[in-house]
């Protein structure tokens, strides 16, 4: 079966280490795929490459088997797009923008436009310059979904949306998937991908760090540990424990991140009075931070 998105060695090198490098990625037809990374990681560059807005330095990107660069026009018949940076339409009314883009696409039903605009609670009768940032974002989403595309590419789609309309957006994504569409969305909001994504890729400094399912990512064997000691803290033994990282001591309390099994840690605390021992699965936020920050920052941010 043809993959929705397939990239091999996909690279856009802007110089000075900026861009995306050697990206190998596969997005299956019909899945919702999250593309996570901090600002400047290369998410928008990847999306602009897939949309044929910029040309790759090397490598290839294919959408439903078509070359994203060479077959850009054919690709876009199958793709809806929401850019990360919203365009400026000045004094145009929302109705005019939608009609103009619909005219360019040629495959848009007015009823679909109305449906999406109503779900997002967007008044198309107002001038673009009168729209708030959130309303501009809603209009970008209308333009992305209105042609019922086979693939929807969304660059930070919930930016500026309030929680109520974020839920409406998640509903649009779910409906698109249930209708057989593939959704590729970039974000740095983890709760967003937790809501809707089947699989997630994480990029950092222009490089792909990992691709996994949401369950796999959350289920990584890493735990937040908090131990309260009644008397002295065996800090040397704890620091020497294999897999116990990011160790912090505050009074009688020790915190850290444990990877692997519990046996070495339990051995390290044996013989000491422990008043409380807490372990919990890390949140996606904490997993995310372990990929993007140094350990000290990760611990600080996770608190």
Partner 1 sequence: MTLLRLALRYQRTGFIAMSVIAGIGVLANALGFAEIVGDSPADRAAFAAQMELLGKQLSVLLPVPSHLDTLAGYLHWRWFGSLGLVFAFWALMTATGAGRGDEERGFVETWLATGVGRLRYLATRVAGFAIAAAASLALLGAMTALAAQLAKEPIAIDRIVLEMASLFALMLAAYGIALFVSQLVTTRRGALGLGGIVLLVLYLANAATRVGDPSPLARLSPFWYHERNRPLLGEGLDAGAMLAMTAIALVFTLLSVVAFVRRDLGSALLSGRSATARRVTRPARNPLLRAPVLALLWQQRVWIFGWAIGLAVFAFFIVGLTKTIVDSMAAGPPLMRLYLERAGLVGYSAFIGGIWFSMLILLLSIYTVAQVAGWSADDAEGRLATILSAPVSRARVVIERLLSLVLACGIVVAVTSLAAYVAASGQGIDLDVPRFALASALILTVVFALGAAGHLVAAWRPRVAVVALSAVAIWSYFLQQLAPLFGWPDAVKNSSLYALYGMPMTGVNWSGIATLIGIGIVGTVLTLRAVQTRDVGA
Q: Residue numbers of the site for partner 1 (CB under 8 A)?
A: 48, 51-55, 72-74, 76-77, 79-81, 83, 85-96, 98-106, 108, 110, 113-114, 117-118, 122-127, 129-130, 143
**Cβ-based nearer residue to partner 1, 99 or 247:** 99
The residues, ordered by sequence, that sit 6+ positions from 139 with a Cβ below 8 Å of its Cβ are 94, 97, 98, 122, 124, 128, 131
**Smallest distance from partner 1 to CB 8, Å:** 21
Residues contacting 3, CB < 8 A, separation 6+:
26, 27, 28, 29, 62, 64, 65
Please, which residue, 186 or 290, has the CB nearer to partner 1?
Answer: 186
Contact (CB, 8 A) for 168 and 137: no
Identify the sign of the CA torsion 162, 167, 172, 177.
positive
Beta carbons within 10 angstroms of residue 228's beta carbon: 15
C-beta closer to partner 1: residue 108 or 202: 108
Give the closest residue to 276 by CA, choosing from 256, 254, 257, 259.
254
Of residues 148 and 204, the one with the C-beta less far from partner 1:
148
Shortest Å, Cβ 110 to partner 1: 5
Residue 32 beta carbon to partner 1: minimum distance, rounded to whole angstroms: 20
C-beta of residue 102 within 8 angstroms of C-beta of residue 111? no
End-to-end CA distance of the chain: 45
Nearer to partner 1, 102 or 302 (CB): 102
Find the helix or strand (DSSP H, E) in which 255 lies: strand 253-259
Looking at beta carbons only, is 93 or 174 nearer to partner 1?
A: 93
Q: Cβ of residue 45: shortest distance to partner 1, in angstroms?
A: 10
The candidate with the shortest Cα–Cα distance to 39, out of 168, 189, 162, 184, is 189
For residue 142, the minimal CB distance to partner 1 (Å) is 9
Torsions phi, psi for 89 (to 5 deg): -110, 5
Structural tokens at position 63: 């959408």
The secondary structure element, H or E, covering residue 117 is helix 110-119
| Least CB distance to partner 1 at residue 171 (A) | 17
Q: How far is the CB of 98 from partner 1 (least distance, A)?
A: 4
Closer residue to partner 1, CB minimum distance, 110 or 263: 110
């Amino acid at each position: 079966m043809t993959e929705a998105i397939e990239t091999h060695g996909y690279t856009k090198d802007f110089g000075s280490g900026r861009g995306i490098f050697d990206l190998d990625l596969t997005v299956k037809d019909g899945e919702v795929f999250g593309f996570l990374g901090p600002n400047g990681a290369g998410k928008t560059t990847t999306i602009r490459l897939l949309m044929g807005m910029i040309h790759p330095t090397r490598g290839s990107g294919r959408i439903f088997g078509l070359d994203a660069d060479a077959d850009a026009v054919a690709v876009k018949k199958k793709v809806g797009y929401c850019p990360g940076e919203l365009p400026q339409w000045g004094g145009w009314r929302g109705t005019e923008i939608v009609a103009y883009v619909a005219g360019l696409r040629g495959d848009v039903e007015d009823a679909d436009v109305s449906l999406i605009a109503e779900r997002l609670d967007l008044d198309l009768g107002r001038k673009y310059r009168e729209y708030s940032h959130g309303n501009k974002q809603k209009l970008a989403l209308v333009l992305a979904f209105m042609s019922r595309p086979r693939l929807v590419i969304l660059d930070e789609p919930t930016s500026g949306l309030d929680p109520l309309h974020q839920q409406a957006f998640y509903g649009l994504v779910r409906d698109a998937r249930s209708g057989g569409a593939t959704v590729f969305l970039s974000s740095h909001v983890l709760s967003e991908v937790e809501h809707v994504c089947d699989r997630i890729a994480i990029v950092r400094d222009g490089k792909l760090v990992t691709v996994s399912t949401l369950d796999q990512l959350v289920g990584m064997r890493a735990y937040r540990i908090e131990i309260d000691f009644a008397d002295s803290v065996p800090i040397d033994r704890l620091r020497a424990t294999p897999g116990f990282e990011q160790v912090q001591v505050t009074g009688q309390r020790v915190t850290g991140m444990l990877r692997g099994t519990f046996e070495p840690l339990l051995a390290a605390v044996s013989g000491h009075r422990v008043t409380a021992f807490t372990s919990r699965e890390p949140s996606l936020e904490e997993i995310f931070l372990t990929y993007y920050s140094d350990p000290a920052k990760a611990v600080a941010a996770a608190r």
